[in-house]
């Protein structure tokens, strides 16, 4: 696969979802420990990946780290400048470091479920 094809495939992960689609996600954990309720808007699509910071969240299942590492490498070729990965202690546990990820101020974040 050429890099251009990879970029096109990575650009739109869910073609039917646009940035102005309201999202109701009652399971969206917030750093303070409560649960956010109600309608949410998706973040606007990034115009470019050049110079962006990418956070990767590994759920600690088999092959999740490998999948995220491969995506990170592709996105770095497309201009992402900084990549940092966090790994949950177990796949069933909540991520205890959400506030750390937020403090790092990534421009985008990917998570993956292995197996």
Cβ(58)–Cβ(85) below 8 Å: yes
Alpha carbon distances (Å) from 43 to 21, 59, 66, 110: 10, 22, 26, 13
What pLDDT, in 10s, does the model give residues 75-84? 999 999 999 9
Write phi, then psi, for 73 (nearest 5 degrees). Answer: -65, -40
Q: CB-based burial of residue 18 (10 Å sphere; 0-12 exposed, 13-18 middle, 19+ buried)?
A: exposed
Euclidean distance between CA atoms 72 and 56, whole angstroms: 8
What pLDDT, in 10s, does the model give residues 3-33? 334 433 433 344 444 444 554 554 454 444 4
109 has a pLDDT exceeding 60 = yes
What percentage of the chain has pLDDT greater than the value 90?
40
């Amino acid at each position: 696969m050429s890099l251009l094809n990879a970029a096109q495939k990575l650009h739109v992960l869910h073609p039917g979802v646009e940035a102005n689609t309201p999202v109701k996600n009652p399971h969206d954990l917030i750093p303070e420990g409560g649960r956010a309720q109600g309608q949410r808007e998706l973040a606007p699509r990034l115009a470019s990946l050049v110079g962006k910071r990418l956070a990767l969240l590994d759920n600690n299942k088999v092959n999740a780290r490998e999948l995220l590492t491969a995506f990170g490498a592709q996105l770095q070729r497309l201009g992402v400048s900084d990549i940092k990965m966090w790994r949950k202690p177990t796949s069933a546990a909540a991520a205890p470091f959400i506030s750390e990820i937020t403090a790092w101020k990534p421009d985008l974040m990917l998570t993956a479920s292995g197996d």
